[in-house]
Amino acid sequence: MSLFLENRKNLEISDTIKVHLPRLPSYKYIVMLPQLVPHLSTDNEIDSFNKYLSAIIEKCAMEHPHHTLPLLLYLANSHKDREFDEVHTTKTSSNDARIATAKELIRKLRNNG
């Protein structure tokens, strides 16, 4: 999995990995979820990687919600800490894309479940 994450911009390696990773049962991803969820993003630069990663996480959420949903909910609500900060900055967070993607996955899961 680290090979996939490190080489997500390399199309040749990425295509090869994408052929083999779907063969893994979803329970094998459970151990890796804490490392996978932070890589969620909506960046267009690595769009195919994000679509594939979202599909893996969505499959895990459908089949193993008790392991996956806490991570997605944590990410989706991570911006709420700012509401309680006394020093409120107007900078946009680098997490905004990940937060949006996590919220989108949660919305999809609500509609499917």
User: CA torsion sign, 83 to 105 to 59 to 39?
Assistant: negative
> How far is the C-alpha of 68 from the C-alpha of 9, rounded, in Å?
26
pLDDT in tens, 1-44: 777 778 778 888 777 877 888 788 999 999 999 999 988 876 65
pLDDT in tens, 100-110: 888 888 999 99
> How far is the C-alpha of 70 from the C-alpha of 76, rounded, in Å?
10
Burial class (CB in 10 A: 0-12, 13-18, 19+), 100: middle
pLDDT in tens, 34-52: 999 988 876 655 567 788 8
> How far is the C-alpha of 1 from the C-alpha of 58, rounded, in Å?
17
What would the two tokens of residue 51 be? Answer: 């679509």
